[in-house]
């Protein structure tokens, strides 16, 4: 085994040995120093050689299942690498990968990595304009997508390879032909650990997403921190609810489980069905389960105690999880959902790791390999401020940099990397998420954290999800307004609004209370995050035009509250 691969395994094994001892893991962990390293060849293939255990297990709601062992997936990815090479894919080429949770997604990821190509993950929900932007700024040379999505590329000119999965498309190569290629693969040259591997377009909360470039070490090896946070171990069956195309899918459906030698488990549903998901988790013996807050909020609408689970670890990710949801799950299954924090630009930075005390509302402590501080607006350390990573030494899980429109990589400058997210740190070193730096606002001269108010709202039985933004007010500058998605069975009427206002009065100081609310469907990015920036803009326009929504209620509408 190459020396760099040995160093990677030693770092991994150290974290596995200390998975329940945070202090020892944080003090003793060191990122491996790598020079030549290709995770697919030097780790996955070694792990997979002759290994009959399932590496990938896909369950479809219609009843079909796909189960591939580590050994089978190694062979398939070797064949796929030879197939792609014959079509002209070479080291450094950009490959746009736009597939759902089907086996060729994992086969293509491994094959592209073995070739040294740069993967550009893309969600199947992208429009023609989105794709044109990725082609232009991402410098795409090859496309792998489902045959049912081939038509989206009809008007995208250029000399690029077209490969369709799951059917025939005129002018496209068939992915299924890859299975007839030779199973004997040999790389043409070595891979440097610093070579580019993944190019992510951020989730689109701004008009023009940034391009985040990761290397053969920053995500494959960097996700040792994510493996530690998830608590996944060899032999586990790990389910992460995530859509391909987004960084969290690579976090928890690819690198972190296979770093540990666990099974990647996926459930495909045309429309979310909580009962089927819970039935499948119980039937298939899932042991570690990670889901975004939206999924957890839907799951607690069910009687969770009816399902007998083999679950050992529960994780929430994407946005902070409200304490009320955590308590509901714990009372049913006796397990605490552990929150964490990271970005597309990094691996998991902060988290509640296994076996440690979980403080309600806190997202945890810095994970092994990361040195985290909070900086105020003047760049000074503070107990509340912008989450920032110290770059001496540089954490291995941090991106290479942002790619500019001209293709140049913008390196990170200075002693810290600032995330743009705000948090508080308590005396025990636990971090609590406050919000995006531009989400915190002032109302009546008080600083308001939307997350604090949203946590209070979600405790009301009629509220499934909520987003709080400032609503312009001529006397108070702004007042907090909540946009609310109701739980099943709740009615968007005056009685429900009154009940919610009373609930908030019981639990919040007067200066923090929501003064206006509107029942509405919450706008989200295609990665599932609430678009508060859109709500803020719409609310400013509505107040400027002196308009109120049909399902909007203000505190002053209720004289019985006085």
pLDDT in tens, 40-75: 999 999 999 999 999 999 999 988 999 999 999 999
3-state secondary structure of 329: helix
* 289 plus 421 within the same structural domain: yes
Residues 363 and 455 in one domain: no
Buried b (16+ CB within 10 A) or exposed e, 439-474: bbbebeeeebbbbbbbbbbbebebbbbbbbbbbbee
The answer to whether the beta carbons of residues 155 and 128 sit under 8 Å apart is: yes
Does any domain span residue 29? Answer: no
The pLDDT of 507-525, averaged and rounded, is 87
Last residue of a domain, one of 405, 436, 467: 436
C-alpha closest to that of 533 among 438, 433, 435, 420: 438
Per-residue confidence (pLDDT) for residue 206, from 0 to 100: 44
Domain-located, residue 459: yes
Question: Mutual orientation of helices 323-333 and 450-458 as an angle, nearest 10°?
Answer: 40
- Identify whether residues 213 and 226 lie together within a single domain: no
Same domain for 289 and 364? yes
CA 405, 108, 399, 253 torsion-angle sign: positive
Q: Kindly report, residue by residue over 406-460, the tens digit of the pLDDT.
A: 889 988 888 999 998 899 999 999 999 887 776 767 675 566 778 778 888 999 9
Higher pLDDT, 260 or 318: 260
Residue 321 three-state SS: coil
| CA–CA–CA angle 77, 82, 87 (5° rounding) | 120
Pair of tokens at residue 231: 């608590």
Per-residue DSSP letter, 192 = B
Residues in the chain: 562
- The CATH number linked to 541 is 3.30.300.30
Residue 25 domain-assigned?
Answer: no
Last residue of a domain, one of 217, 241, 260: 217
Quick one: 290 and 405 in the same domain? Answer: yes
Per the domain annotation, does 16 fall within a domain? no
Report the percent of the chain where pLDDT is more than 90. 75
- Which 3 state secondary structure label does DSSP give 468? strand
Q: What percent of the chain has pLDDT over 70?
A: 97
pLDDT digits (tens, 9 = 90+) for 271-297: 999 999 999 999 999 999 999 887 998
Judgement on whether residues 212 and 270 belong to the same structural domain of the protein = no
Task: Assess if residue 28 is contained within a domain.
Answer: no
At 109, list the tokens. 């990821």
In a domain, 202, yes or no: yes
Q: Residue 185's domain is classified under what CATH number?
A: 3.40.50.12780
What is the C-alpha separation between 533 and 438, in angstroms, rounded? 9
- Domain assignment present for residue 2? The answer is no
Of all helices (H) and strands (E), which one includes residue 541? helix 532-544
Tell me which of 217, 247, 275 is where a domain ends: 217
Query: Do 101 and 161 belong to one domain?
Result: yes
Let me know if residue 24 belongs to a domain.
no
Within this chain, do residues 265 and 349 fall inside the same structural domain, yes or no? yes
Which 3 state secondary structure label does DSSP give 411?
Answer: coil
Bond before 393 cis per omega within 30 degrees: yes
Are 445 and 478 contacting, i.e. CB atoms less than 8 angstroms apart? Answer: no
> Which stretches does DSSP call E strand in 378-487?
384-390, 401-403, 409-410, 416-425, 431-436, 441-443, 446-448, 463-473, 477-486
pLDDT of 207 = 46
Range of the domain at 306: 222-436
Instruction: Give the tokens for residue 523.
Output: 């706008």
Tokens of 509: 């100081």
Note the pLDDT of residue 205.
40
| DSSP H or E segment with residue 533 | helix 532-544
Distance between first and last Cα of the chain: 74
| Total number of domains constituting the chain | 3
Same domain, 105 and 229: no
The secondary structure element, H or E, covering residue 72 is helix 70-86
CA distance 562 to 560: 6
Residues 233 and 357 in one domain: yes
Place of tokens 């690579």: 250
- pLDDT reported for residue 445: 53
* Cα 512 from Cα 514, distance rounded (Å): 7
What is the model's pTM?
0.84
Nearest to 499 by CA among 560, 451, 448, 548: 560
Co-location of 281 and 378 in the same domain: yes
**375 plus 520 within the same structural domain:** no
Q: Tokens for 425, please give them.
A: 């740190």
Give me 403's structure tokens: 């790619």
258-272, 446-460, 486-500: least confidently modelled range:
446-460
């Amino acid at each position: 085994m190459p020396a760099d691969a040995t160093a990677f395994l030693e770092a991994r094994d150290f974290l596995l040995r200390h998975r329940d001892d945070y202090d020892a893991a944080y003090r003793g962990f060191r990122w491996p120093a790598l020079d030549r390293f290709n995770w697919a060849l030097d780790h996955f293939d070694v792990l997979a050689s002759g290994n009959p255990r399932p590496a990938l297990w896909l369950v479809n709601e219609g009843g079909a299942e796909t189960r591939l062992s580590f050994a089978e997936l190694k062979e398939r990815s070797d064949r796929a690498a030879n197939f792609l090479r014959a079509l002209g894919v070479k080291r450094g080429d950009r490959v746009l990968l736009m597939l759902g949770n089907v086996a060729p997604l994992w086969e293509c990821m491994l094959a592209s990595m073995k070739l040294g190509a740069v993967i550009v993950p893309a969600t199947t929900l992208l429009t023609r304009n989105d794709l044109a932007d990725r082609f232009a700024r991402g410098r795409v040379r090859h496309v792998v997508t489902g045959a049912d999505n081939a038509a989206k590329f009809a008007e995208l000119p250029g000399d690029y390879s077209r490969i369709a999965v799951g059917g025939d498309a005129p002018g496209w190569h068939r992915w299924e032909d890859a299975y007839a290629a030779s199973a004997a693969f040999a790389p043409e040259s070595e891979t440097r650990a610093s070579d580019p591997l993944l190019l992510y377009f951020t989730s689109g909360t701004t008009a023009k997403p940034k391009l985040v470039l990761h290397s053969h070490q920053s995500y494959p090896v960097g996700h040792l921190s994510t493996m530690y946070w998830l608590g996944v171990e060899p032999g586990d069956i790990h389910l992460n609810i995530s859509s391909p195309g987004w960084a969290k899918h690579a976090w928890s459906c690819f690198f972190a489980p296979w770093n540990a030698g666990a099974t990647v488990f996926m459930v495909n549903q045309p429309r979310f069905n909580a009962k089927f998901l819970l039935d499948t988790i119980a039937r298939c013996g899932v042991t570690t389960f990670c889901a975004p807050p939206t999924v957890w909020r839907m799951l607690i609408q069910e009687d969770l105690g009816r399902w007998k689970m083999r679950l050992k670890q529960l994780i929430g990710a994407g946005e902070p999880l409200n304490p009320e949801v955590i308590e509901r799950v714990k009372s049913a299954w006796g397990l605490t959902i552990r929150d964490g924090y990271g970005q597309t630009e990094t691996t998991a930075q902060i988290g509640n790791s296994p076996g440690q005390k979980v403080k309600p509302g806190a997202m945890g402590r810095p994970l092994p390999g990361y040195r985290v501080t909070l900086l105020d607006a003047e760049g000074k350390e503070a107990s509340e401020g912008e989450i920032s990573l110290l770059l001496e030494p540089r954490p291995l899980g941090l991106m290479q940099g942002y790619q500019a429109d001209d293709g140049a990589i913008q390196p990170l400058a200075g002693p810290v990397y600032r995330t743009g997210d705000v948090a508080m740190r308590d005396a025990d070193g636990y971090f609590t998420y406050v919000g995006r730096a531009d989400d915190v606002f002032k109302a009546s001269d008080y600083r308001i954290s939307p997350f604090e108010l949203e946590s209070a709202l979600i405790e009301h039985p009629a509220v499934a999800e909520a987003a709080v933004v400032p609503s312009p007010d001529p006397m108070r500058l702004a007042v907090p307004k909540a946009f609310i998605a109701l739980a099943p069975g709740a009615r968007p009427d005056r009685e429900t609004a009154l009940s919610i206002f009373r609930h908030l009065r019981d639990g919040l100081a007067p200066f923090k209370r929501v003064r206006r609310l509107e029942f509405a469907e919450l706008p989200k990015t295609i990665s599932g995050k609430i678009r508060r920036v859109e709500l803020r803009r719409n609310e400013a326009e509505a107040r400027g035009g002196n308009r109120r929504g049909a399902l909007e209620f203000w505190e002053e509408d209720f004289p019985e509250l006085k």
